[in-house]
Each structure stands twice: as structure tokens, then as C-alpha cells.
Structure 1
Amino acid sequence: MSEAQPPAERPTLEKTAPPQGLEQAESSAAYGPGAGGAEGQDGAADGGRVPRFWSVRRVPAALVALLLLAGTAVLLYDVASVRADRPGMAWRRTLADELATTRLDDAAVLAGAAVAALLGLWLIVLALTPGLRGVLPMRRDVPQVRAGLERSAAALVLRDRAMEVSGVRSVRVAVTRRKVRARALAHFRELDEVRADLDSVLEEGIRQLGLARQLGLSVQVRRPAKR
């Protein structure tokens, strides 16, 4: 005889007192993957971590390549001109004279050094970070296939699911890398009932998105402002 399975844990709802003069209900649901998914909080179905998508960053790479190409071409032309017993470019002689006579604590030198340092730091950050913050990695049920979901698309899907809840007049859904925030207006039914239904519907909707990382959920329901 098989042993009875313990019931699945339900979301933990934390109610906050509404501001004076405004009727509203809030909840923050924390839950783990459902019975249909064996993946971990940050991993794929086999327990491995699913990495984020890396941005190609064609624009920064193209700008840096063009600047390096232009600077290298100008320097090579000037070196070749000097080797051919021709005078160097006027701008290079002027720049060499100014660098030889300008003090290191000069404001222009410090400003140029700060700009160069910031530019280099920006390039290092671009090289070491994945980018594509708007794409949420999905579970890798097939090892050879990687899929991602735009956060705007996920928000649209969850918004459509929330609008199916009885009593919801309008709802705004924002999806970040770690959390889903829903702000709804309810024109009938008790706010706690509407919020509980939204918690259940959005929780199931988040699971059905098939994301590698289960997102947290925050739901706020209030009445429309009286005119």
C-alpha cells in the first residue's frame, strides 16, 4: 500500500494594513515549484543552473572597432610619412609639445583621464556581464535547446490571466528578473477574495511560463478612486 503524500504547501499571504481612507488588500506569495516540475529554484529539470543569455552588443563593439581602426590608420600614415623624410602631421607635433609642457595636475588632463577611465570601465562591464536583462531563461527540458521569454511577453500573458478573475476591473503586471508585481482594481466582490483568486491564478500562470527560475509574487488589490 502506497503512503499518502503530504499536501502541497500553499502560498504564504502577508496582509498589510491599508492606508487610512483607502480600501485595499495586499499579499506577497512565496512558493516553490509545483508537483509537475522537478527543477530547483534556480535550475533546470536536471538540477543544473540555466545561464542567462549573453547580449551580442554589436553597437558598442562596432564603435570601438571603428575608433581603433581610424586611430591606427592615422598613426600608421604619420609614421610612414616620417619614414619617407616628410614632416609629421601638424596636430601630432602640436599634441606632443602640449603634452611635454602640460602638468599632470592640470584640469584638462585630469578630465581626460577620468573620461578614459570611465570608458574603459564601461567596456569591462559590458565584456563581463551577460546583458539581455529583458529575457528570462526558460527550463532546458531538451539539453540541445535553449529558450528565453521576454519579460514584456510574460507580463502580457499574466495580465490576460488576471483579467479573467471575477471582480477585476483593470490590472497592471510588471515582471522583473526575480518578481512579478500585480496591481489590480476591483469594482465588486470582497478585496480579500479577489486577491486570493489573483494569487492562485498568477501562481499557476507563473508556473506555466516554464521559466528556469521561479519568480516571487506580489499582489495588490484596491478599489477605484471615487470621483
Structure 2
Amino acid sequence: MLAACAALLYGAAAVWAGAGGWFRGLTGELTARPLSDPWVLAGAAVAAVLGLWLLVLALTPGLRNWLPLMAPGDGPNATSAYLDRGGAALLLRDAALRVPGAGRVRVRVGRRRVRARVDVRFRDPREVRGEVADVLREQVDALGLARTPRIAVRARRLA
């Protein structure tokens, strides 16, 4: 994206300076083609998709891969701390694996929800699911997140 913007800026500056043969050739080609030409339509579609993507990026909040932690105090000297979602998922997965009967655990951490899938090796899957949910709640509380996410646990017995 940066390279395309730099090329357009260079081309515009070259035309303004009296050079810019390739840019003049490109603009001459574009003005000579009808709007129903497939190349013009494809270029317009690419420009529209890039524009929509830039709008989506502009409207979404930053630091999407980070979970904010509770600030120790308010005021001008308050610090902000964040936890990586992948790191939080690993901590929660390790906590869930300590539950007896939990075989393989996959944890996905979102901004508002923690989803865990547990493969149960032995014991009743409902009991394991309840214990995993309790362990995950304790671990999420220990993480000190600014907003406590909902916890959803799915358990299935391995065949």
C-alpha cells in the first residue's frame, strides 16, 4: 500500500516537473478506454475494496490483539498495561489442563468471551466441563483484566 502511494506521488511530481512519461502514458490509456472495459472495472473494484478495508481499519479501535489490564490507580501518573491474547490463551489452557480428565484443551480468547474446547479422556464430560469453567473463571480473575470476559466451555468425550 505504501509502495503504491509512493509510486503515485512520484508520478504526480514527475508530471508536475515536466517528466513522467509512464504516468502520462497510464493516464492517456485510462482516458482512452471506455468505462465498460474489463480492466477499468477491475481497477475500480480493487480500489473500492481497498477503500472499504481502509474505512474498516479506521473505524475499529486499535490494540485489537491486546487485552487491557486494570489500572492500579487513576490520575495523571496512571499507567496502562496490556496482555497479549495469545499469552492469555496459553495461561488459560495450562490451567484447564490441570483438571483431571481433560485431555486436549483449545482456548480462544476474544475481547468479550473466552471459548474453550475440552476433549475428555476419562470421567463424565459434564463434570469436567464444570470444573474447567470454574478453573478458567479463577484464572481470568487472577489475570486482572479490565473487563471480565464471559466463559464458554464445550466438552466432548474422546472415542
1:146 CA displacement: 1.0
Identity of aligned residues (%): 47
Are positions 1:70 and 2:7 aligned together? Answer: yes
| 1:31-84 CA-partner distances (Å, limit 9, x unpaired) | xxxxxxxxxxxxxxxxxxxxxxxxxxxxxxxx43x4434333333333333xxx
Report the CA distance shift for 1:94/1:221 in structure 2 as closer, same or farther (over 3 A).
closer
Matched residue type, 2:46: V
Q: 1:101 aligns with which of 32, 40, 48?
A: 32
Alignment RMSD: 2.5
Report the CA distance shift for 1:69/1:172 in structure 2 as closer, same or farther (over 3 A).
closer
> Normalised by the size of structure 1, how large is the TM-score?
0.58
Are positions 1:167 and 2:101 aligned together? Answer: yes
Report the CA distance shift for 1:77/1:146 in structure 2 as closer, same or farther (over 3 A).
same
Q: Equivalent residue of 2:46, what SS?
A: helix
Distance in structure 1 (CA, Å) of the matches to 2:124 and 2:151: 20
> Normalised by the size of structure 2, how large is the TM-score?
0.78
Distance in structure 1 (CA, Å) of the matches to 2:147 and 2:105: 24
Distance in structure 1 (CA, Å) of the matches to 2:7 and 2:122: 66
Q: Which residue of 2 aligns with 1:196?
A: 130
Q: 2:142 aligns with which of 195, 202, 208?
A: 208
Are positions 1:130 and 2:61 aligned together? Answer: yes
Distance in structure 2 (CA, Å) of the matches to 1:160 and 1:180: 14
Are positions 1:222 and 2:156 aligned together? Answer: yes
Contact 2:67 2:145 (C-alpha < 8 Å) held by counterparts: yes
1:119 CA displacement: 1.8
Distance in structure 1 (CA, Å) of the matches to 2:146 and 2:80: 11
| 1:174-209 CA-partner distances (Å, limit 9, x unpaired) | 222222222223333333332322222111111111
Matched residue type, 1:108: W
Distance in structure 2 (CA, Å) of the matches to 1:151 and 1:191: 27
Distance in structure 2 (CA, Å) of the matches to 1:171 and 1:116: 42
Matched residue type, 1:110: L
Matched residue type, 2:50: L
Report the CA distance shift for 1:200/1:98 in structure 2 as closer, same or farther (over 3 A).
closer
Q: Which residue of 2 aligns with 1:178?
A: 112
Q: Which residue of 2 aligns with 1:113?
A: 44
Q: Equivalent residue of 2:41, what SS?
A: helix
Residue ranges of structure 2 left out of the alignment (5+ in a row): none
Distance in structure 1 (CA, Å) of the matches to 2:123 and 2:23: 77
Regions of 4+ moved over 6 Å: none
Q: Hey, which of these two has a bigger chunk of helix by percent?
A: 2
